[in-house]
Amino acid sequence: MRKADLVIIGGGPAGMSAAVEGALLNLDVVLIEDCSELGGKVLKKASLLLKAGEGEGSEDMARQGLHSAFTGIADKVTLFCNSDVWSVSSEKIVELYFHSPSQNSAVTVQAEKIIIANGAVDRIVPFPGWHLPGVFTIGGLNTFVKRGVVPGYNVVVSGTGPLQVALVYYLVNAGVKVSAVVDPNSMFGMAPTGWNLLTGGGIDKFIMGMKYLFNIRKKSVPFYYSHIVTEVVGNDRVEGAVVSKVDSQWKPIEGTEREVKADIVATGYNLLPITEVARLIGCSTCYNEELGHLLVEHNDTMETSVEGVFVVGDGAAIKGFQAAADEGVIAAVEAARQLGKISDQMAKERITPLQRKLLGARRIGTAMCKSARPRPGLLKMVTSETVVCRCEEVTYGDIKSATENGARDINDLKRRTRLGMGNCQGTFCGQVANELMWKATGKAWSRSGFTARQPIRPVPIGIIAGDNSHPELED
């Protein structure tokens, strides 16, 4: 079995910074990335058509800085790209699987320390028609648009959060017609975020946001505040969108519906940390009432309740790439200290200034997530025919009959309906399954998440059964 001092799961800003720091501290580092290139969703290497400098200034600089720092230590790091981690045991045995049409193999690594840096996923609320081709998450459409790919002519962007503003900015810059920007917050909904940016050391983000909004305004894009897309219509692709006014709890108001021209719809409510690897290892989590989702518990050096397992970046809590990179460094330094590679004093000198720097970013991140958090009224959009689990095609009607027949929590719901059993393993339906059970029964009760079980990603049975020890990779 391959052995490593430090295994880092995720090659975004947090994971890359951790790898750079770990390598500089002479740790034997294995870095695992599920895509074909490093940089995560934000700091992927230069986009195809997006010329340098066209993106936000600090983002461009961070992208260049991170990639050149990594190039400097690349020969000291074992990098596995196109690799899904499908299992991690509490003994820190990491199982990964290379996925590509031409390659089909697996590796097992025994880690001394693990840094989980697996990032975040778009936060969603299902609505009629959201399964149609042409509906994307806001983050998803952004990935394509930033690479110069726009798959339609009339785009409607519906939801909340900073990514929404960024997406609209990239769309208008690409010369695409944005039919509507729809936000259930009132026009002043972003005010607390702006205030937190100004007072929390996020002045560069504030300026960036203003620049985005100014450019969008110049192109006279229609904004619908206190509205939401309640339905996407179409046969086998998006043919239009229905926009409704919402009340203060974001409940669509009947009689206010109007149809908007659309062939592409983007939806989302900021991001949610991905916690499945941490939960699989057995790290403690807690439900955050303010944010309305699970967080992996960690101390001020990012170590979880499981000794030697760290959680960093947006996978720990949403706060953006700069803070993610700082957390990656903190975790790598602490891992090196625990392995005796640097003294306590040196570790403290490196970590303390970063911890101080993180306070503002965390406050801003929390404020943004709170103002973007979907409010309960939105669930009114979900009808009996609405697909909730996209993979297994489970509708809200199926959830209702399962609860009527005695389903007690979402794991029970999963057994009865197959909700969450598909390829994405409940990444999207798991976000709202509890709330939809509450909607069906009229009362809030269980808050459990799906039990994390291996394999956490789809993997061929031959890989699970096979010998993945790879003696040629042993040192």
Partner 1 sequence: MPASDKFQIQFDGEHLSAAHGQTIAEALLANQKLIFRNTPKNVSRGPFCGMGVCYECRMIVDGVPNVRTCTTKATPGCRIEIQEDGQIKSPEEKP
Residues engaged in binding partner 1 (CB under 8 A): 34-36, 41, 48-49, 82, 99-101, 121-122, 131-137, 139-144, 147-152, 236-237, 274, 390-391, 393, 422-424, 427-428, 458
Least Å distance, CB 328 to partner 1, is 19
Closer residue to partner 1 (CB): 72 or 148: 148
Amino acid at the residue 28: D
To the nearest whole angstrom, how small is the minimum distance from the Cβ of residue 9 to partner 1? 14
Q: Which is nearer to partner 1, 22 or 240 (CB)?
A: 240
Please, are residues 366 and 286 in contact by the beta-carbon 8 Å criterion?
no
Q: Helix 203-218 and helix 162-173: axis angle, to 10°?
A: 50
CB of 188 to partner 1, least distance (A): 31
Minimum gap (Å) between residue 234 Cβ and partner 1: 10
Tell me whether residue 69 or residue 387 sits nearer to partner 1 (CB atom). 387
Closer residue to partner 1, CB minimum distance, 284 or 423? 423
Q: Cα 280 vs. chain centroid, distance in angstroms? A: 18
| ∠ Cα 295 300 303 (to 5°) | 65
Of 28 and 122, the one with the shorter C-beta distance to partner 1 is: 122
Smallest gap from Cβ 28 to partner 1, in A, equals: 27
User: Looking up tokens 């294995």, which residue turns up?
Assistant: 30
Instruction: Work out whether strand 387-389 and strand 258-260 pair parallel, antiparallel, or are unpaired.
Output: unpaired
CA 240, CA 270: separation in Å to the nearest integer?
23
Cβ proximity to partner 1: between 238 and 246 the closer is: 238
CA–CA dist 470, 152 (Å, integer): 46
- Residue 129 burial by Cβ neighbours in a 10 Å radius (0-12, 13-18, 19+): buried
The single residue listed with the structure tokens 């960024």 is 166
Indicate the residue among 136 and 438 with the shorter CB distance to partner 1. 136
Which residue carries 């045991």 as its tokens? 89
Q: How far is the CB of 305 from partner 1 (least distance, A)?
A: 25
Q: Which residue, 280, 298, 337, is CA-closest to 454?
A: 280
* Residue closer to partner 1, measured from CB, 103 or 345: 103
| C-beta closer to partner 1: residue 13 or 422 | 422
Rounded to a whole number of angstroms, the minimum distance from the CB of residue 42 to partner 1 is 11
Positive or negative CA dihedral for 367, 370, 373, 375? negative
b/e per residue, 31-59, with b = 16+ CB within 10 A?
A: bbbbeeebbbbbbbebbeebeeeebbeeb
Nearest residue (CB) to partner 1, 2 versus 457: 457
Q: Which region, left, alpha or beta, applies to residue 145 given φ > 0 means left and ψ of -120 to 50 means alpha?
A: alpha
> Which contacts of 250-257 are long-range, i.e. CB under 8 A and separated by 24 or more positions?
250/184, 250/374, 250/375, 250/376, 250/377, 250/378, 251/376, 251/377, 251/378, 251/380, 252/228, 252/377, 252/378, 252/380, 252/381, 257/230
Please name which of 69, 240, 243, 58 lies closest in space to residue 166, comparing C-alpha atoms.
Answer: 58
CB 389 within 8 A of CB 419: yes
CB of 441 to partner 1, least distance (A): 27
What's the min distance (Å) between Cβ of 85 and partner 1?
A: 13
CB of 417 to partner 1, least distance (A): 14
Neighbours of 405 (CB within 10 A): 8
